[in-house]
Chain A
Amino acid sequence: MQSQLLLQLIINGLIIGTLYGVVGMCFVLIYKASQVVNFAQGEFLLIGAWTCWWLLTAWNIPFFWGFLIAVCFMMVFGIAVQMIVLRPLIGEPIISVIMVTIGLSIFFQALMKWMFGTFAQPFPPIFPVAQVNILGLQVQTAYLMSTGVSLAIMAGFAWFFKYSRLGLAMRATAFSQQVAQSLGISVRQVFALSWGISAAVSAVAGVVVGIVNGVSSALSYFGIKVFPAVILGGLDSVFGAVVGGLIVGLLENLGQYVDSQYLKWGNLYEIIPFYALIIILMIKPYGLFGTRDIERV
């Protein structure tokens, strides 16, 4: 019984961990390209999921098209946010940049609550079969799809940054903005594009989570959970974000196991990533795969 519970929790951890990894990658993408710590990452998930949900329920669009429109919309949305809000702040102190993303975060969170209410709304059923039997464990189809989508996104990111022209331009900008500019790369476009891609991919993650758990403002909590993941992996490492996401996902579920079996505290699941975060910051602030150039004080 207990070992089965443990196994189930580990699988849950891996599934949720890949999602954290995807959101973490989006976060790192923005940070690497434009040196902005985006506290509004969770709201990208939220807005994307609500848009898709609204298209599906209010307009009865087939899932595939609704999903596609939502992702395209988020791409435009991300670019717009960068151009309207973040661009005037280039060169301002880091406090201002962090604060403006926090401002964006509460603005959109409240707007979404106002427009769609505070209750979780389920997606219309998408798969003909709700559960599949794998090796004696009942796994929800949505979970399988979520893992599949996450892995596909990760592979896509890897291809994009290794082989595509734009991806290489983005890496060059992350390496040195001046050098990139002198090679004819438009740094402004790269900034805008990184926000666009990040918002679009976050929207995919948001829709996936929405299908599994229903769409609600709890989605924006992903944007906060992503901090332990990216700090653990190293703030400027895309690969690190994936590893960090997996570790945080596992840690949460193992924390819940320990909690339910031994400690009986009740909410270790939610709080354990933050303890981990403090410990990492104390002993290894650049994370597992990050560049070691953080100035120590």
Chain B
Amino acid sequence: MALTSLRPCGDYRTSYKADQTIFQTRLTLVFVILAIAALCCTPLFASRYVLSLMIQIGYLGIAALGLNILVGFSGQISIGHAVFFGFGGFASAFLADKGVPVPLAIVLAGLWTTVVGLIFGLPAARVKGLYLAIATLAAQFILQDFFVRAEWFTGGTHGAIAAPFTLFGYDLSGDARYFYVVLFFVVVGYIGATNLMRSRDGRALIAVRDHYLSAEMMGVNLTKYRTMAFGISSFYAGIGGALYAHYVGFMSVEGLDILFSIQFLGMIIIGGLGSIMGSLMGTVFMVLLPEATGWLASALSGSVIDQVLHLKDGITYMREMLIGLTIILFLIFEPDGLAHRWRLIKAYWKLYPFSY
């Protein structure tokens, strides 16, 4: 989990400022700007299917980033991330229904989810490790039950209608236009998280994760930072959920189950615990995995394997199994996730032809 930065040997930075830049070299900054510019052009030529996948990656990626701040950076486990994602969606739909403009409703929903997350994060101030995991498991079931019951808020079992996204009178709902909305939130969210991690607060979170006793002796307030990590994580989850609600136009309690929470955990494990870009890579992997299963099943339809296993009927189960299997395999063989692999590739090219 530890971040081993694979810069070439010889660290010539002489000031704290140089050590704390968001972009380590000018080239990184250029690449990030180019990548964002390329993404901005995507709706011009990408098909609706690709766009919908990218939007999905966007809102799930924001929520996964939140979970990574909690799990990867501050070392606490949450098995209830899906309900915070759902809470954000319901809160935003509720606020928009009450007449709040949708962009504002999304941000307010994030803040509202933060408050709920802080309430459930309170045990984090007292217990740690697996006890916390079990507490969040309880939160998962309690909030899921709450969603079904609180009809004034969520519409009960029928679900809630979320208003389409409009900004100053412009309708930004369809796939191509909503893509920019999601992209904006993703960029702001990820730069925000990178910025957080180079500040005192971010470093304090990592210190709490790595050795909480030393951290406390150095003047880091453990209770504050543990609870704060819960708050930040819920904020990102809430924003992600709100974006989802306004994209689909409808929010229901269906699908906010524990499997969805585990999927979030899978994303950050596959991407790399404690890596910001890893959260996005893991999300891409997790979104494309079921799609790839679908492609594979349709490619194999009619063959012998299909006739033996009845792939078409078992496709949903096969997807769940693959999620479980990838989590297990990554934990055993690549515990640092895709981000680590990516760093190795980068280091390889940077140091070529001398592998050291």
Residues of B within 8 A of A281 (CB): 123, 126-127, 131, 134-135, 138
Q: Which residue of A lies closest to B122 (CB)?
A: A282
Q: Are A99 and B131 in contact (CB under 8 A)?
A: no
The stretch that binds A, out of B244-252, B300-308, B325-333, is: B325-333
Question: For the complex, what is the distance from the CA of A266 to the CA of B148, rounded to whole Å?
Answer: 11
Question: For the complex, what is the distance from the CA of A277 to the CA of B1, rounded to whole Å?
Answer: 30
The stretch that binds B, out of A87-95, A130-138, A148-156, A182-190, is: A87-95
A96 at the interface (CB under 8 A from B): yes
A100 at the interface (CB under 8 A from B): yes
Residues of B within 8 A of A111 (CB): 317, 321
Q: Which of B145, B148, B314 has the most CB of A within 10 A?
A: B145
Q: Which residue of B lies closest to A295 (CB)?
A: B128
Q: Are B320 and A106 in contact (CB under 8 A)?
A: yes
Residues of B within 8 A of A275 (CB): 138, 142
Q: Which residue of A lies closest to B141 (CB)?
A: A274
**The 6 A-B residue pairs with the shortest CB-CB distance in the complex, in nearest-first order:** A107-B324, A110-B320, A103-B327, A114-B317, A106-B324, A274-B138
Question: For the complex, what is the distance from the CA of A210 to the CA of B129, rounded to whole Å?
Answer: 34
Question: For the complex, what is the distance from the CA of A88 to the CA of B123, rounded to whole Å?
Answer: 31
- Contact among B126, B145, B317 for A282, CB-based, below 8 A: B126
A278 at the interface (CB under 8 A from B): yes
Minimum distance in angstroms from B293 CB to a CB of chain A: 12
B116 at the interface (CB under 8 A from A): no
Residues of A within 8 A of B75 (CB): 93, 95
Q: Are A297 and B71 in contact (CB under 8 A)?
A: no
Q: Are B335 and A96 in contact (CB under 8 A)?
A: yes
Residues of B within 8 A of A114 (CB): 314, 317-318, 321
B287 at the interface (CB under 8 A from A): no
| Additional 4 contacts, C-beta under 8 A, given A95-B273, A104-B328, A274-B141 | A37-B130, A106-B321, A281-B131, A297-B125
Q: Are A297 and B222 in contact (CB under 8 A)?
A: yes
Q: Are A271 and B331 in contact (CB under 8 A)?
A: no
B226 at the interface (CB under 8 A from A): yes
Q: Are B126 and A285 in contact (CB under 8 A)?
A: yes
11 pairs, A vs B, C-beta closer than 8 Å: A88-B332, A94-B77, A96-B335, A99-B331, A110-B319, A110-B324, A224-B137, A267-B149, A281-B127, A294-B127, A296-B127
Question: For the complex, what is the distance from the CA of A104 to the CA of B262, rounded to whole Å?
Answer: 12
Question: For the complex, what is the distance from the CA of A270 to the CA of B131, rounded to whole Å?
Answer: 21
Question: For the complex, what is the distance from the CA of A114 to the CA of B318, rounded to whole Å?
Answer: 8
A105 at the interface (CB under 8 A from B): yes
Question: For the complex, what is the distance from the CA of A110 to the CA of B326, rounded to whole Å?
Answer: 14
Q: Are B335 and A85 in contact (CB under 8 A)?
A: no
A113 at the interface (CB under 8 A from B): yes
Interface residues of B in 1-35 (CB under 8 A from A): 1
Interface residues of A in 267-291 (CB under 8 A from B): 267, 270-271, 274-275, 277-278, 281-282, 285
Interface residues of A in 187-232 (CB under 8 A from B): 224, 227-228, 231
Interface size on B, residues (CB 8 A): 50
B79 at the interface (CB under 8 A from A): yes
In terms of DSSP, what is the predominant structure of the interface of chain A?
A: helix
Q: Which residue of B lies closest to A274 (CB)?
A: B138
Question: For the complex, what is the distance from the CA of A227 to the CA of B223, rounded to whole Å?
Answer: 25
Q: Are B331 and A100 in contact (CB under 8 A)?
A: yes
B259 at the interface (CB under 8 A from A): yes
Minimum distance in angstroms from B15 CB to a CB of chain A: 33
Question: Given A110-B320, A227-B137, A282-B123: A103 and B128 within 8 A (CB)?
Answer: no
Q: Are B142 and A271 in contact (CB under 8 A)?
A: yes
Give the A-binding residues of B (Cβ under 8 A).
1, 71, 75, 77, 79, 122-131, 133-135, 137-139, 141-142, 145, 148-149, 212, 222-223, 226, 259, 262, 265-266, 269, 273, 314, 317-321, 323-325, 327-328, 331-332, 335
Q: Are A278 and B128 in contact (CB under 8 A)?
A: no
Interface residues of A in 94-130 (CB under 8 A from B): 94-96, 98-100, 102-111, 113-114
- Contact among A93, A99, A267 for B145, CB-based, below 8 A: A267
Q: Are A227 and B134 in contact (CB under 8 A)?
A: yes
A265 at the interface (CB under 8 A from B): yes
Q: Are B328 and A265 in contact (CB under 8 A)?
A: no
Minimum distance in angstroms from B52 CB to a CB of chain A: 25
Q: Which residue of A lies closest to B317 (CB)?
A: A114
Question: Given A89-B332, A98-B77: A277 and B130 within 8 A (CB)?
Answer: no
Q: Which residue of A lies closest to B323 (CB)?
A: A106
Residues of A within 8 A of B317 (CB): 110-111, 113-114
Question: For the complex, what is the distance from the CA of A108 to the CA of B328, rounded to whole Å?
Answer: 12
Q: Are A99 and B269 in contact (CB under 8 A)?
A: yes
Question: For the complex, what is the distance from the CA of A121 to the CA of B139, rounded to whole Å?
Answer: 31
Residues of A within 8 A of B323 (CB): 103, 106
Question: For the complex, what is the distance from the CA of A96 to the CA of B325, rounded to whole Å?
Answer: 14
Minimum distance in angstroms from A242 CB to a CB of chain B: 19
Question: For the complex, what is the distance from the CA of A297 to the CA of B319, rounded to whole Å?
Answer: 39
Question: For the complex, what is the distance from the CA of A250 to the CA of B299, rounded to whole Å?
Answer: 52
Question: For the complex, what is the distance from the CA of A108 to the CA of B335, rounded to whole Å?
Answer: 22
Question: Given A102-B79, A102-B265, A267-B145: A278 and B331 within 8 A (CB)?
Answer: no
Residues of B within 8 A of A271 (CB): 141-142, 145
Question: Given A274-B142, A278-B135, A297-B125: A93 and B314 within 8 A (CB)?
Answer: no
Minimum distance in angstroms from A205 CB to a CB of chain B: 21
Q: Are B320 and A109 in contact (CB under 8 A)?
A: yes
Minimum distance in angstroms from A271 CB to a CB of chain B: 5
